[in-house]
Structure 1
Amino acid sequence: MASNAKTRRLDCGATVDRISNLPIHLKHLILDRLPVDDVARTSVLSKAWSDIWIMYPNLVFDDEFFSRLVSKKFPTEDKQVQLSEVSKTISNILLLHSGPILTFILNVPLHLPLHQSMNVWIKKISINGVRTLELFNREPVDYKMPSSFFSCSNLTRLWLVKCILNPPSKFGGFCNLIDVTLVVVRITGDMSFGTRLKQLALLHCSGVEHLGSHFKNCNNLTGLIIVDSEEIDWHLFQCTPKMQLKTLELEFGRETDVMKKVINLDKLFGNMPRINNLYLDGFFLESLERNASVLKRPITTLEKLNLEGVRLQNLVHIHNALCLIRSSPNLRYLRLVLAPEVYSSNNMDSLDASMLSVDMIPHQLKTVEIQEMIGSVTELQLVKLLLASTPSLKCIKIQNNNIAFF
């Protein structure tokens, strides 16, 4: 009995360090829930914890990190002192970390210009085999990515905000990138994110024309989002019959010079044989050429269609929206977000069931969502037309001023 009691006391932690004896993956899960500066402090606990810190692969310098560091440690210091201390803290953390750095996330706060130090940090993580890099720059000045960034050969996921990409003249592209999101990024020269890229999002970027290599037949791109870019060469989309593209979002968000270049629906979507999910805004609909009421080649793979900012007063919007619907025989989900404007009951006098080709009725359409309706005669005509032309419809959701009707 005495021996059992002694064993129980030991098991309760008298001499056994249960946390230190946990498997390495469980220790990493614990560290994942701590701020990165606290994670770094574990290296002084013991030799075992020092080894764990060296091999801990995720470094996250997010808003919480900067808030803790600045507000608690240097709340009354001037900006220069704050900048110096923050830069020193991050540099020391990276200096103590000699193992692989697979994830590096940095949210650069406003009024802390860390750009000069960031060059050193990115060189460090490029050497340590970084795979996920997320850099959110809030400074008013764009951050120019250093040359060491283009040597991150293990990179698989990239997210950049307010940066400049100036690729070296002999840059051959990344080898392992799969997912790229660029927000307010300026691309200054021809470059490639590599043939393994699957997801590409370009939001308010410039220099998009330098990414022409991703529209070649040999790439694996399955998802493409382009928002508010005027440098799109639409001929690139006409040379992609073997693309793997399944999800496409094209959003202008405003009237741009691109709208002056009329885009042919047949040429645009006829070269996307695998497209499954399509999102277009009203400004893009405005730029599409209005010709036939149905595409020469139906989009047989399209299952989800999202049209946002559709103006029912605009006959070009109406024509192109209906053309896409009736050219998608396997469409299952349709979402229309109507532009907030005053409609006239005479706008759709010509819109009736005859506008949908009999042999191209979307037989598979099961769900329809219409948002921002105000209950005009024009809108009701549209609803009646959809109801009369969709034999498999199971659910129609109409939203009026945040009130939904089913």
Structure 2
Amino acid sequence: MIVFFLFGSIIRTMMGKSSETTATEGDMEDRISSLPRNVIDLILDRVPIRDAARASLLSSKWRYVLAEYPHLRFNQQFSNAIARNRLPSEFNNDYVHIVNRILLQHFGPILKFVLDLPELHPMRLSDVDQWMLFLSRKGVRELTFDNSSSSPYKLPAYIFSFSELTYLKTSRCIFRPPTTFEGFSKLNRLILVEITFGSSVLNVPQLVILILRNCSGVHHLNVSAPQLQKLTLYENDYLALDNYMICKKLAYAYLALPNGIQQHRQGERISLQELFGCWNTLTNAYLDGRFLKYLAAGIIPGRLPTTMDCLRQLMLFRISFDLDQTACILCLLQSSLCLQKFEIWIESVADNDVTVLNYLEEPSRTNQTIDGLQTVKIRYFKGSKPEVLFIKLLLSCAPSLEKIYIEEDEKLLLNERLRIAKELMRFSRASTKAEMMFQPLNSAST
């Protein structure tokens, strides 16, 4: 913090103060200017780029510091500072002018570039294209391009020539690589949010992390990522799991579907057995209830043919305890021999679904064992019969269970809470250490 205060003092000194103040702060300027270059780079990495630019314009000692600095961040703080006290038309011109000036004065590589693109007049987007062309010659390794405007920005072909990229994050863009695009050979992290895909083949042999959120045209996307370890597919318009079935190193999966997709192209769905038979290296799985229904193709076995020996944490959300979901949940629990932590978020439950109640009360259910499970958290607990029977089953089948945290829905009345708590406390337990803890929603967690 002292260093950043000194940097602010430099700018105030150069902007003109009293002679006494200037002399004092001039000493501060000398002190910070004489710091090693790597320390100065750390300072620049943490101060607004506009302040750094002003320092470089006003001081001969700092004239080339920003021009050589390999990390440039034009974030929301930067655009907000320019927008202050300006009309929209003035902002468009001044924003583009300032970014142009900083880029044109820069020499040397730019290893990290961040652009939070504000709402610009469509005619100004050609300037953004030129910025991308400029960057394509700078050896960029980490690129963040977040589009805050109301219209998607079509990524120019130049971006697909960034051969040194190891990290790419972009949002609200149109993603259409040229037909000659051979992939990002060094990319290991890829985050795409609200992206519209055209025909896209992504060959990313070093990719470790892939996140696709709220994307459309996903059926046009063909991904080859044999080294993938972390996969997030969140509410995209299509579920193309075939691309990821060969990912033998996958350890983390976060899969959630939007409403209606479970009815899409039913004949091509992948079953629970097929998916987890391929993903037997998973350690963490986060699945929503719609995805579980998607997997419930055909008969759900009591246990998978291939056990999930690596799975340590399982989180399920948007759960309604219909028959498909319930069968999938119990299958996963009984197939995960080393599962330690299980969390479930309840969305809505039909209290008197006879098929579910009969399924949970079958005598054979209590003869099954859920090994390894130590901690359970149930959030938005509503006190329905399926929920109560599910907890009863966990207590009777989990010999290593230590704690069940039950976070009750705020709509559950006090007298109902007491009645349900008494009922749950009477259930027999396979583990002598098992404890149940009732707590309001959003209180201290495990």
Q: Does 1:274 align with 2:281?
A: yes
Q: Is the 8 A contact 1:290 1:320 kept in 2?
A: no
Q: 1:83 Cα deviation (Å)?
A: 0.8
- Cα distance in 2, alignment partners of residues 339 and 278 from structure 1: 18
Change in Cα spacing, 1:88 to 1:16, as seen in structure 2 (3 Å) is closer
Answer yes or no: is 1:330 the counterpart of 2:338.
yes
Unpaired segments ≥5 residues, structure 1: 1-9
Residue 378 of structure 2, aligned match among 367, 370, 376: 370
What displacement does 1:70 show? 1.1
Is 2:272 the counterpart of 1:265? Answer: yes
Q: Would the aligned equivalents of 2:143 and 2:167 in 1 still touch at CA under 8 Å?
A: yes
1:246 alignment partner in structure 2: 251
Distance in 1 (CA, whole Å) between partners of 2:315 and 2:308 is 15
The separation in 1 between residues aligned to 2:341 and 2:265, in whole angstroms, is 27
SS at the partner of 2:339? coil
Match of 2:316 in 1: 307
Q: Given the superposition, is the C-alpha separation of residues 341 and 267 from structure 1 closer, same or farther in structure 2, using an over 3 Å criterion?
A: closer
User: Hey, what does 2:195 align to over in structure 1?
Assistant: 185
Q: CA deviation at 1:15?
A: 9.9
For 2:37, the equivalent position in structure 1 comes to: 24
| Long gaps (5+) in structure 2 | 1-22, 411-439
Shift of 1:201: 0.5
Residues 11 and 348 of structure 1: is their aligned pair in 2 closer, same or farther, counting only changes over 3 Å?
same
Deviations 1:2-58 (A, max 9, x none): xxxxxxxx9997698111111112112222232111111222344442232222122
> Are 2:182 and 2:203, in contact at CA under 8 Å, matched by a contact in 1?
no
CA distance in 2, matches of 1:276, 1:188: 33
What is the aligned partner in structure 2 of residue 7 from structure 1?
none
| Matched-pair contact (CA < 8 Å) for 1:214–1:221 | no
> Is 1:221 the counterpart of 2:228 in the alignment?
yes
Go from structure 1 to structure 2 and tell me whether the alpha carbon gap of 1:357 and 1:98 turns closer, same or farther (over 3 Å shift): farther
Is the contact between residue 329 and residue 361 of structure 1 (CA under 8 Å) also seen in structure 2?
A: no
Alignment match, 2:178: 168
* Aligned pair partner of 1:286 in 267, 284, 293: 293
Cα distance in 2 between the residues matched to 1:355 and 1:222: 37
Q: Judge conservation of contact 1:101–1:129 (CA < 8 Å) in 2.
A: yes
Is the counterpart of residue 129 in structure 1 residue 142 in structure 2? no
Deviation at 1:345, TM superposition (A): 7.4
Does the 8 Å CA contact 1:366/1:395 hold for their aligned counterparts?
A: yes
Partners of 1:63 and 1:39 lie apart in 2 by 16
TM-score (norm 1): 0.88
Separation in 2, partners of 1:15, 1:350:
75
Out of 358, 361, 368, the residue aligned to residue 349 of structure 1 is 358
Q: Of 108, 111, 116, which residue of structure 2 is paired with 1:99?
A: 108
Query: For the residues of structure 1 that align with 2:41 and 2:84, how far apart are their CA atoms?
Result: 27
The partner residue of 2:152 within 138, 142, 155 is 142
Report % sequence identity: 30
Question: What is the TM-score when the length of structure 2 is the normalising length?
Answer: 0.80
Give a deviation string over 1:299-335, Cα, whole Å, max 9, x none.
11111111111112x1111111111111111111111
Instruction: Give the partner amino acid of 1:260.
Output: Q
Cα RMSD of the aligned pairs, angstroms, is 2.5
Q: In the alignment, is residue 255 of structure 1 matched against residue 260 of structure 2?
A: yes
Residue of structure 2 equivalent to 1:391: 399
Match of 1:199 in 2: 209
- Matched length: 386
Counterpart-to-counterpart distance in 2, 1:197 and 1:165: 18
Offset of residue 294 of structure 1: 1.5
The one-letter amino acid paired with 2:37 is I
Secondary structure of the residue aligned to 2:47 is coil
| Residue 33 (structure 1) aligned to one of 9, 25, 46 | 46
- Check conservation: 2:82, 2:91, Cα contact below 8 A: no
